Amino acid sequence: MTHRSIGIMIGISTALLIVAALYLARSIIAPVAFAFFIVALVWPLQRTLQSVLPKLLALFITLAVTIVVLLVLASMTAWGFGRAAQWLMANAARFQALYMNGAEWLEGHGLYAAGTLMETFDVSWLIRFFQSIVTRLNGMVGFAVVTFIYVMLGLLEIDILQRKLMSAEGGATGQRLSKAASEIASKFRRYMVVRSIMSLLTGLAMWGFAAAAGLDLAFAWGVIAFALNYIPFVGPLVAMLLPTLFAVAQFESWQMAVAVFAGINVIQFFSGSYIEPRIAGKALTMSPFIVLFSVFFWAFMWGLPGAFIGVPLVIAALTICDQYDASRPVARLLSGRPPADA
């Protein structure tokens, strides 16, 4: 066995051990990752405030603003899914009758296996789905508390750490890490600005379309689309399928359901494939495969928080890889930029 083969095997084994450690220690590492992410987002506010106010007072204001913003977003999301769950429970009989008619239609066309599957449908599955989402949002209080403890400590020490990295004690490695950290923080802020703008536009467009189409819960669908748009690919897909499913029960017409699905799909495609790339620019360009993989991978590792932070974690990893000559080809290969730009 050659030295290169041994090195490859050691690299693969190390990667697997790191993945296993991230999964097994997710209750510890996930809050730390979120804390770094939040610190990167709010540090400009903290730095501006502490230039004119005492450091602890600036920290209190920064944390208060952050908590209020996150509580508003979480409350809106829980309200949207809660409204959908209430509508679903109030119209459970309609859903059940609709699926029983579907089973009869399938059996009438010789699709007995599909008809049997449809007969086993229970609308309580959908009810439990919405209830589990609301429960997960309410159950993340402990996670949020631990995360904000790390955020508080990080905001207190970030300027000290930065001075250490840039000093002679840090050396060239410290300066390189400081530069990488600054680039990562800048990309994090730009990523969240882009996602927030696109989420707001998508939510407003969904609200307007649902109201024009006569869908019940039009504002709730707008809120859900706004919240889910923060999770690339998976969130917009769910935001398309749920209103379509409810449209089938409300209008009892597959033609109307197809029209609703097509309209929502146009909104998602226009915002995700046309507007967002132009707002994001080349700095946040990533391969669509890497974006989708990061969402599913980190959702598997850390659940719902992982699905949200998966893309920022990949952005950070690619930025670090771009700082070193040996790993720079990997960063450029996994980016979505054309070869001439890369």
263 against 124, higher pLDDT: 263
- Determine the Cα–Cα distance for residues 94 and 96; give it in Å rounded to an integer: 5
| Residue 243 predicted with pLDDT over 50 | yes
What pLDDT score does 170 carry? 59
Which pTM value belongs to this model?
A: 0.80
Residues 316 and 265: beta-carbon distance below 8 Å: no
242 against 173, higher pLDDT: 242
User: What tokens does 215 get?
Assistant: 């869908």
CA 237 to chain centre: 12
What pLDDT score does 336 carry? 61
* 1-10, 94-103, 173-182, 267-276: segment of lowest average pLDDT: 94-103
Using CA atoms in the order 201, 131, 37, 334, what is the torsion angle rounded to 10 degrees?
-70
Q: Where are the alpha helices (DSSP H) in 139-280?
A: 141-166, 171-213, 218-228, 234-251, 254-270, 276-280
Cα–Cα separations (whole angstroms), residue 302 to 31, 110, 204, 239 = 10, 43, 30, 22
Average pLDDT, the chain: 79
What pLDDT score does 203 carry? 92
What pLDDT score does 118 carry? 46
CB atoms within 10 A of CB 192: 16
Taking each helix axis from N to C end, the angle separating 26-50 and 304-321, rounded to the nearest 10 degrees, works out to: 70
CB atoms within 10 A of CB 62: 24
190-240 pLDDT tens trace:
889 888 988 999 999 999 999 998 888 899 999 999 988 888 888 888 888
Q: Report the percent of the chain where pLDDT is more than 70.
A: 77
Confidence of residue 89 (pLDDT cuts 50, 70, 90): confident
Residues 156 and 141: beta-carbon distance below 8 Å: no
- Determine the Cα–Cα distance for residues 342 and 339; give it in Å rounded to an integer: 5
- CA nearest neighbour of 95 among 114, 120, 123, 119: 123
Confidence of residue 115 (pLDDT cuts 50, 70, 90): very low
41-73 pLDDT tens trace:
999 999 899 888 888 898 899 999 999 998 888
